[in-house]
Structure 1
Amino acid sequence: MPDIQQAKILIVATDGFEEKELTVPLRKLREQGATVHVAAPEKTRAPGSITAWDGMKQPEDWGETVPVDRAVKDARAADYDALVLPGGVLNPDHLRIDQTVLSLVRDFAAQGKVVAAICHAPWILVEAGLARGRRMTSFQSIKTDVANAGAEWLDQEVVTDQGIVTSRSPADLDAFVAKIVEEVREGGHGDRRAA
């Protein structure tokens, strides 16, 4: 597997992502030399971009806008070394019912690529069938969902199970990004789809 400076990483998100959970990995991974692309479903609030949800702003509540490099339907796991799934509530709730997104997540897992999900994004891993038999973490409010999907839920800032990286919240971003870099350097993890 490549050093992080030669790595290609895909971030998949849609409108309503937790701002820091996308922008911090995007910035930090690029600062370390990785090529990072953002992919989103074709239907978003503004063509060619996605917008964060920021419940602290009133009355609008929409946050920073991030440009999109490609549509999810045009992204291929074979072109990347890792997949990053930011959280928020709206973002993963929409993505976990998008069959194109779920197929892409499964392809990353089948090819032994790093799959990283933070906050509510483990919902996507649950829907993709990647939780059963794994050690995972998530935002506290979806702990039961993750456990009911067959994962062992741990209250830790970052949990890794054969290249599947999960973290709890924006407070864990430093550990989350560091673990993504470590896992990319480690290399392939084999087919991790559910049996």
Structure 2
Amino acid sequence: MSQQLSEKQVAILATHGFEESELSEPKAALERAGATVHVVAPDKGSIRAWASTDWGDDYAVDRSLDKADANDYHALVLPGGLFNPDALRQDEKALNFTRQFFEAGKPVGAICHGPWVLINAGVVKGRRMTSYPSISQDLKNAGVDWVDQEVVVDSGLVTSRSPKDLEAFCGKLVEEIGEGRHSHQHA
């Protein structure tokens, strides 16, 4: 596999109740491309996945949000699930961490309900995005041009709808991270 991301470090921001495949598959794809990937969470130790219809495996937290610095990372990934983004969008440290990636023009990927975090971080107005259909109105209300496509890229922001879109999401994520910083015309 290509080592196109061998010099890159990527943060996956998650907490309990993330959709398991939406963390495990992007993490594996980024690592196959050579990136160093850290799971960043509000809690230390481990976080528990949601696997489609029931609780899944525990995943080790590489760095607590208190110790994480966006300057140490080249990109951010926000997995979905229901519980995970709903908790993170109410966590001011998570929102500040997320904003720093946008302020620096670094690539960000968000899938499924992950864009909820972006809405509360105030970074989506004027963007073209997709998401799980049930939060499309939330994104439209936040000023997003929402489209129903498997993957949408807008100036380094990669979004997808659900686990069925993971192959396209992971491919675009690797591509955008490989390209590096983006100048955002939106605020």
The one of 26, 38, 47 equivalent to 1:50 is 47
Inter-partner Cα distance in structure 2 for 1:100 and 1:164:
20
1:125 is aligned to 2:122 = no
Inter-partner Cα distance in structure 2 for 1:62 and 1:161:
33
Q: Percent identity?
A: 54
Shift of 1:139: 0.1
Unaligned runs of at least 5 residues, structure 2: none
Alignment deviations for residues 138-187 of structure 1 (CA, whole Å, 9 cap, x no partner): 00000100111000001011111111111000001111111111111212
1:27 is matched with 28
1:99 is matched with 92
Inter-partner Cα distance in structure 2 for 1:54 and 1:9:
23
Inter-partner Cα distance in structure 1 for 2:177 and 2:90:
27
2:11 is matched with 10
**Secondary structure of the corresponding residue to residue 6 of structure 1:** coil
Amino acid paired to 1:7:
K
Alignment deviations for residues 38-86 of structure 1 (CA, whole Å, 9 cap, x no partner): 01002xxxx5001012353xxxx31111100010121111111110000
**Secondary structure of the corresponding residue to residue 105 of structure 2:** coil
Amino acid paired to 1:52:
A
**Secondary structure of the corresponding residue to residue 165 of structure 1:** strand
Amino acid paired to 1:150:
G
Q: CA RMSD in A?
A: 1.5
Q: Structure 1 length normalisation: TM-score?
A: 0.91
Inter-partner Cα distance in structure 2 for 1:187 and 1:35:
15
Inter-partner Cα distance in structure 1 for 2:51 and 2:182:
35
The one of 166, 174, 184 equivalent to 1:173 is 166
Amino acid paired to 2:143:
G
Inter-partner Cα distance in structure 2 for 1:95 and 1:77:
16
Any runs of at least 4 consecutive aligned residues in structure 1 with deviations exceeding 4 A, and if so which? Answer: none
Structure 1 pair 26–35 and aligned structure 2 pair: CA distance change class (3 A): same
Structure 1 pair 192–67 and aligned structure 2 pair: CA distance change class (3 A): farther
Amino acid paired to 2:17:
G
Q: Conserved in 1, the CA contact under 8 Å of 2:47 and 2:60?
A: yes
Unaligned runs of at least 5 residues, structure 1: none
Inter-partner Cα distance in structure 2 for 1:176 and 1:186:
15
Count of residue correspondences: 185
Shift of 1:134: 0.4
1:70 is matched with 63
Shift of 1:130: 1.2
Structure 1 pair 182–138 and aligned structure 2 pair: CA distance change class (3 A): same
1:38 is matched with 39
Amino acid paired to 1:22:
L
